[in-house]
Amino acid sequence: MKILVLNSGSSSIKFKLLEMPLEKIICSGMVERIGYEDAILRFKKDDINVQETVPIKTHREGLSILANYLTHPQKGVIKNSNDIYAVGHRVVHGGDSFAETTLINGAVKNEINYYSALAPLHNPPNLEGIEIAEKLFPTAKQVAVFDTAFYQTMPIKARKYAIPNTFYTEDNIKVYGFHGTSHKYVSEKAIKYLGKETSKIISIHLGNGCSMTAIVNGTSVDHSLGFAPSNGLIMGSRSGDIDHSVIFYLAESLGYSLNEIKQLLNKKSGMLGLTGSSDLRDIQAKAEEGDKNCQLAIDMNAYRIKKYIGGYAAAMNGLDALIFTAGIGENSSLIRRLACLDMDYLGIQLDLVKNEKQTNELREINTDSSQVKILVIPTNEELEIAKQVLELLS
Ligand code: AMP
C-alpha cells in the first residue's frame, strides 16, 4: 500500500511516497521558500530529478503542485489521489495528549492547534499540511506521528523544571523533547543489532538541530531538548544550554528586547554565532585552514556532547551503545572522534580507521576491545513515520 509522508514546515514541505510494507521509496520531493517568487521545487523518482524555481505563495499551492507531480502522466507514480492509502504527518508537538501515533479527526486537530502555543513555528504549518492533505487526498486516512510521543515515558524527575510546582501542574511547563521519531528509529535498529534482552543506549542526533536521548530497554529516560527545541547541545544556530541570567543581563543591562533575545539565541547563536556559518562542512574546512574560531567552536561542540554522554551514562548506571545519527552524526568523523576522545574510563574506545569509513548502512566504529559499541546509524524519519502509520492501520 502507498503511504505518503508529509513534513510541513514554516516555509517548506517535504514528502516521500513509500510502498509499504516493502519500505520502498517510490518518489520524494520538497518545496522550499514557500511565500517567495523564487520558491524551489524538487521531485525525485528513479533517475528523474526535477528542480524548478517557481513562485509559490502558499502551502496549499506548494502541496497542490506536489500532488500534480504524483499524478503527472509521464513523471507521475499514481493514477489519482485515491491510490494513496494513508498520509502520515510529522507533527512536532503533541504535548502530553499523544503518547502514540494517532488517526486524525476534528478533536485531534483541535489538540494540535492547542499545542501551537508551545510550538508556534512548527504546529501551525503541521496543521495546515494536514488540512490541505485532507482536501487533496480525501479518501486517504490521515495520521499524525508526534515528535514528542517518544518522551512520554520519561520519569518526572527528568521532565520537571525546578520552578514552583504549579508551573508544572497548571501551566504544563516541562520537558517535552523533540526528534523523537529519529531517536526511536535509530535506537530500535541498535537494539536489534545488539541482540541483547536489556540495553542502555545514548542516541546522539546531530543535524541542524541537535539532541541526545538516554534510552533504557527501548524507552527514553532523559533527553537534552526541553520545553522547546533549544536546550542542550550546541546547534547550527541555537545556543543550547545557557545560564538564564544571561537573558536577564541582555534585557536589563544591554537593552535587548525579548524578541531580539529570542532571535539571538535561536537564529544567531550556536555554530553560526561562534563562526559565522551554521554548516559544519564549511566550519571544518576553515578550521583545517587554521581559523581559530572554527577550531574552538568544534571543540566546544564536541565537549558539550561528551558532558551529556557522561551525564546519561551516570543516569542509566551503564552504557551498552552510543549512536551517532543525522547530517553531522552520520558524516562528521571529526565530531565523532572528538566526542569519543578520552572516554576509556566509560569503556568507550573509538576505532580511528573504522570511524573514517563512509557508508549509508549501520556501522560499528568502536575498537574490538571497547566495552561500549559506537554505532553510526543513518536516520530515516519518513520511513519511521510510514512504519508507524502502517502499524496503526493494520
Ligand atoms: P540534517 O539537519 O540532519 O540534514 O543535518 C544538516 C547538517 O549536517 C548540516 O549543518 C551540515 O553541517 C552537516 N553535514 C552534512 N554533511 C556533512 C559532512 N559530510 N561533514 C560534516 N557535516 C556535514
Active-site choice (38, 83, 96, 147): 147
Q: Rounded to whole angstroms, how far apart are CA atoms 263 and 270?
A: 12
Residue nearest to atom 23 of ligand 1 (CA): 328
pLDDT of residue 76: 86
15, pLDDT greater than 90: yes
Pocket of ligand 1, candidates 280, 337, 359: which has the most ligand atoms within 8 Å of its Cβ, to mutate? 280
Q: What is the reported pTM?
A: 0.93
Report the SS3 class of residue 352. Answer: helix
Domains and CATH numbers, the chain: 2-151 (3.30.420.40), 190-376 (3.30.420.40)
Band (219; pLDDT cuts 50, 70, 90): very high
Ligand 1: does its nearest atom lie under 6 Å from the Cβ of 208?
yes
pLDDT of residue 28: 94
11, pLDDT greater than 90: no
Q: Rounded to whole angstroms, how far apart are CA atoms 66 and 73?
A: 14
pLDDT of residue 232: 98
- How many CA atoms does the CB half-sphere of 205 hold within 13 Å? 26
121, pLDDT greater than 90: no
Q: Rounded to 5 degrees, what are φ and ψ at 160?
A: -95, 140
Q: How far, in Å, from the CA of 328 to the mean position of ligand 1? A: 4
281, pLDDT greater than 90: yes
Band (226; pLDDT cuts 50, 70, 90): very high
pLDDT of residue 319: 98
Average pLDDT, the chain: 95
Span 23-51, average pLDDT: 92
Ligand 1: does its nearest atom lie under 6 Å from the Cβ of 236?
yes
Q: Rounded to whole angstroms, how far apart are CA atoms 32 and 40?
A: 5
Q: How far, in Å, from the CA of 253 to the mean position of ligand 1? A: 37
- Sign of CA pseudo-dihedral 146, 151, 153, 155: negative
pLDDT of residue 291: 98
Q: Which parts of 48-120 fold into alpha helices (H)?
A: 59-70, 106-114
pLDDT of residue 56: 92
Q: Record the cell numbers describing residue 372, joined without a space.
A: 561500549
Band (69; pLDDT cuts 50, 70, 90): confident
- The answer to whether the CB of 265 falls within 8 A of the CB of 238 is yes
pLDDT of residue 129: 94
pLDDT of residue 47: 87
259: CB partners within 8 A, 6+ apart: none
% pLDDT > 70, the chain? 100
What would the pLDDT profile of 143-174 be if each residue is shown by its tens digit?
A: 999 999 999 999 999 999 999 999 999 999 99
Give, as one character, the DSSP assignment of residue 350. B
DSSP characters for 273-320? HHHS---HHHHHHHHHTT-HHHHHHHHHHHHHHHHHHHHHHHHHT--S
pLDDT of residue 72: 87
Amino acid at 64: S
Q: Rounded to whole angstroms, how far apart are CA atoms 44 and 226?
A: 35
What would the pLDDT profile of 241-274 be if each residue is shown by its tens digit?
A: 999 999 999 999 999 999 999 999 999 999 999 9
pLDDT of residue 9: 85
Band (118; pLDDT cuts 50, 70, 90): confident
pLDDT of residue 75: 80
147 is catalytic: yes
Q: Rounded to whole angstroms, how far apart are CA atoms 326 and 210?
A: 9
Q: Rounded to 5 degrees, what are φ and ψ at 275?
A: -130, -15
CA triple 130-135-141, angle to 5 deg:
60
150: CB partners within 8 A, 6+ apart: 177, 180, 181, 183, 184, 213, 220
Amino acid at 49: N
Q: Rounded to whole angstroms, how far apart are CA atoms 105 and 101?
A: 13
Ligand 1: does its nearest atom lie under 6 Å from the Cβ of 28?
no
- The answer to whether the CB of 199 falls within 8 A of the CB of 320 is yes
Pocket of ligand 1, candidates 90, 179, 234, 281: which has the most ligand atoms within 8 Å of its Cβ, to mutate? 281
pLDDT of residue 218: 97
pLDDT of residue 145: 97
Ligand 1: does its nearest atom lie under 6 Å from the Cβ of 270?
no
What would the pLDDT profile of 252-261 be if each residue is shown by its tens digit?
A: 999 999 999 9
What would the pLDDT profile of 199-218 be if each residue is shown by its tens digit?
A: 999 999 999 899 999 999 99
119, pLDDT greater than 90: no
Q: Rounded to whole angstroms, how far apart are CA atoms 203 and 245?
A: 30
Band (103; pLDDT cuts 50, 70, 90): very high
pLDDT of residue 371: 98
CA triple 366-367-373, angle to 5 deg:
35
- The answer to whether the CB of 93 falls within 8 A of the CB of 146 is yes
